[in-house]
Amino acid sequence: MASLAILQPDARAAARLTAALSGEHGVSVHPIWDALHRALGEEDVDGCLLDADHPNRTDAAREIVHVRRRHKGLAIVALAERTSAVDYYDLGGLGVDGVLFGSGNPGEVRSVVHKALALARASTIEAALTDHLRSPGPEAVAWAVEHAGPDATTDRLAEAMGQSPRGLRQALRAAELPPPSRVLLWGRLLLAGARLAQDGQTVEEVAFSLGYST
């Protein structure tokens, strides 16, 4: 299972988050930023959920930037109360991988965390491949990891790369890489490996989550 750290001073909110996530992930709760920073420095943590309004938005933003700079591959989900479009923009600028407004129901909490973990893993893979594959290889593989599942198609991949399906196929061939369908398969397998090795999911759970029937 993935190891998650939660920065939440509100005991009730922390309990709701823990209840939603503890069945699938290992969870530790920290009421203050100093405790969270110690945990991130001493423990092997895959992701964290951070109260973006504690003690206020300005101070929290400074702390989130600090976490992002020190822990590049960490999945970060911001917990916030406001719901304006500007909030998405501001939180995105801090480098978070997901946003959860309000308390959220358990299914929503798990979904946001899963997507954030996938995005963080995709970013790590893209950085690792940059010196080994020619463009658009790293970007395409990263997208395939982030969006691995039954809804990932070659048309969506091409659109994300700013290409037509034919144009992407030609660009991959020019970079001595396989066609888009194979890149999507790579994404599925890379994310499956991460979920099996790090998240503690069963083979059946991973298969179903990625669109396989068995």
Clarify whether residues 10 and 68 are in a common domain.
yes
Q: What is the per-residue pLDDT for 85?
A: 67
Clarify whether residues 44 and 93 are in a common domain.
yes
Clarify whether residues 165 and 204 are in a common domain.
yes
* CB of 29 closer than 8 Å to CB of 18: yes
Our count of domains for the chain comes to: 2
Q: What is the per-residue pLDDT for 83?
A: 63
Name residues whose C-beta falls within 8 Å of residue 171's C-beta, 6 or more positions apart in sequence.
136, 161, 163
Q: Which CATH number does the domain housing residue 17 bear?
A: 3.40.50.2300
Helix 165-174 × helix 180-198 angle, to 10° = 80
Q: What is the per-residue pLDDT for 91?
A: 84
Q: What is the per-residue pLDDT for 165?
A: 96
Q: What is the per-residue pLDDT for 205?
A: 85
Clarify whether residues 100 and 20 are in a common domain.
yes
Q: What is the per-residue pLDDT for 213?
A: 82
Alpha-carbon distance of 209 to 4, in angstroms, equals 20
Q: Is residue 93 domain-resident?
A: yes
Q: Give the residue numbers spanning the domain of 98.
A: 3-108
Clarify whether residues 81 and 171 are in a common domain.
no
Clarify whether residues 163 and 77 are in a common domain.
no
Q: Is residue 183 domain-resident?
A: yes
**pLDDT digits (tens), the chain, 214 positions:** 789 999 999 999 999 999 999 988 999 999 999 999 999 999 999 999 999 999 999 999 999 999 999 998 999 999 998 666 677 788 888 999 999 987 679 999 999 998 999 999 999 999 999 999 999 999 999 999 999 988 899 999 999 999 999 999 999 999 999 999 999 999 999 988 888 887 677 898 888 888 888 8
* CB of 134 closer than 8 Å to CB of 175: yes
Clarify whether residues 18 and 97 are in a common domain.
yes
Residue with tokens 């190891």: 3
